[in-house]
Each structure stands twice: as C-alpha cells, then as structure tokens.
Amino acid sequence: MTVQKVGFVGLGAMGRGMAANLLRAGFQVQVWNRSPEPVRALTEQGATAAADLAEVFANEVVVSMLPDDATVDAVLHDPALLAAARASVHVNMATVSLELARRATALHAEHGVGYVAAPVLGRPMVAAAGELNILAAGPDALLDRVEPLFAAMGRRTWRLGTEPLQANTAKISTNFLLACAIESLAEACSLAEANGVRPTDLVEMLTGTVFPGPIYSGYGAMVAERRYDPAGFRLALGLKDVNLALAAGAETHVPLPFGSVLRDAFLDAVAHGDADRDWSAVAEATRRRAGLPA
C-alpha cells in the first residue's frame, strides 16, 4: 500500500528540510513542533498543522527528527499516545542511545505500532537538498513501506539489519569516527601553527594528497580558519554523541580509549562557551592546551 499521509514531528535545522522534501515529493504532510515558527513556515509550503501529537499519529506513517533521548522520551513515548495511534509505523530519525532504541522497539511493539530507526548522515544544507544518507534498520516489510519517504529525503538508504538498534549503532559509530577526525585535525593544525606552518596550508596539502574527501576538506578548512559559526552541527550535540559511543562501548565491553580524550575536549569547549557553535570548535580546546593565542 502506497503511503500518502505522513505526520512529521520535529522541525529543527534538519527536520525542516526533510519535511519540505516530503511535500515536494507529493506526500500530504502534517507537522508538529514544540515551537510554532517552523510550523508556520511549513504550512506556507503546503503542510497542515497538527493540533497535537494524537493528530500526528492518526496519519499512516509518522516520521520524527528530534535532538536526543530526553526529547524523544518526553514527546513520543507516552503509552496513551501509542495505544491510540492509527499509524502503522513510526520512523525515528534521531541519533539516540542503544538503550532508548531497545526500549522504543519494545514500547511500540506493545502497542501494535511498527518501529524503524533511520538516523541520517548530513548537515542541514544536505537535508534541505534531499541528499542525506539514511541509515535504516527494522523489519523488512516496514522498510519497504517507508522506502519512498527515504527516497524523497535522501540520496541513498543503507539497510543495516532488521533490529532498529543496528541503525543507531552504525550512526553512533560514524559520529564517533567523525569526532576523532576533527580532534586529530585540530591537533595536527596546532602542531603546525606552533612550528610556523599555516594551518590552511597544511590542510590544503593534506586534502590534496593523503586525505582527500569531504570530511578532511570540510572540517579541515573550518578548523584551520577557526570558522565555527553558524553551526551545522552543534558542539553540545557532538558531546552527546561521544557519550553515546562511550555508553555503547561500555554495554558490550568494547574499549574506546580515544572516547575519553574526546569527551574531555568537548567538555572543555562547552565550559568555555562553545556549546552552540559548530562541533569543529572543539579545536579551540586543543589550541588552549597548546598555549596558542585565543
């Protein structure tokens, strides 16, 4: 059965573009957000506004894009909401902990609502362009049902298993690796600067030789130029994801020694007022440790 009516919860920097792409693809989209301004913007593009979450869950499929475990729990994990839901499936596109993934899977099953995890790779501009990579996991029949939605929001869907937490595991692992890359770029740039080499020259050389690709070129330029605003991905969320990786490692007895270094660097950056800057601003903590000028 083809999905026509979609409820969308969470119109932050990522969710706005994702919901807009569903509208452009011809879906009937009903939106809900905790603050009203993004709702008004989407209704001007053709969406309808939901009076409450119960109205959202009356749609065929619900898609949510919320920032963290606490928000997902507070907004969506009301047993009464799920018990009354007419939606056949909820697609949670947030980056959440493995503990929440397990709990959400069980809670949805208890109330007869299908559950799919589908966190994404990409920044807000990528979301707006419909070029996200979508990391999806859940029962095959549910993934088949929501594939047209994924096609409208992303350029590729990576099916990673039949258990939702498999998608969350892949996303946490990816963000952990990205954080490691940013920290290593920051340390290399600080070493270069302390010894008279311009960080911009170092990054240009690196990305033209041994480290080509969007991560080292994109984040490398931001670190070298100390260009952290506006935030494509807030540093506070980066700290959250490092902590998610450490928690996942602890659950399965996988040591992540770099994770402790990253956590302390991100905490340093938050303590110095950089929580709302791009997560590449963690480089400022490295500069402070190196005694480089602010």
- My answer on whether 142 and 275 are in the same domain is no
- My answer on whether 102 and 152 are in the same domain is yes
- My answer on whether 155 and 19 are in the same domain is yes
Alpha-carbon distances, residue 51 vs 17, 31, 88, 159, 164 (angstroms)? 21, 9, 20, 34, 29
- My answer on whether 136 and 208 are in the same domain is no
155-179 pLDDT per residue, tens: 999 999 999 999 999 999 999 999 9
Q: Residue 256 has what pLDDT?
A: 97
- At CB < 8 A and 24+ separation, what contacts does 200-206 make? 200/224, 200/225
130-152 pLDDT per residue, tens: 999 999 999 999 999 999 999 99
Q: Residue 136 has what pLDDT?
A: 98
> Could you tell me which of 188, 216, 190 has the C-alpha nearest to residue 204?
216
Q: Which residue range is the domain that position 260 belongs to?
A: 168-290
Q: Residue 1 has what pLDDT?
A: 59
What gap in Å lies between CA 157 and CA 241, rounded to an integer?
A: 21
- My answer on whether 257 and 151 are in the same domain is no
Residue 121 phi, psi (nearest 5)? -110, 125
Q: Residue 244 has what pLDDT?
A: 98
Provide the domain count of the chain. Answer: 2
Residues of the chain with pLDDT under 70: 1
For the annotated catalytic residues, the residue numbers are: 171
CATH number of the structural domain spanning residue 199: 1.10.1040.10
- My answer on whether 186 and 269 are in the same domain is yes
Q: Residue 3 has what pLDDT?
A: 75
Under a CB-based contact definition with an 8 Å cutoff, are residues 82 and 111 in contact? Answer: yes
- My answer on whether 181 and 228 are in the same domain is yes
Q: Residue 294 has what pLDDT?
A: 83
Q: Residue 2 has what pLDDT?
A: 75
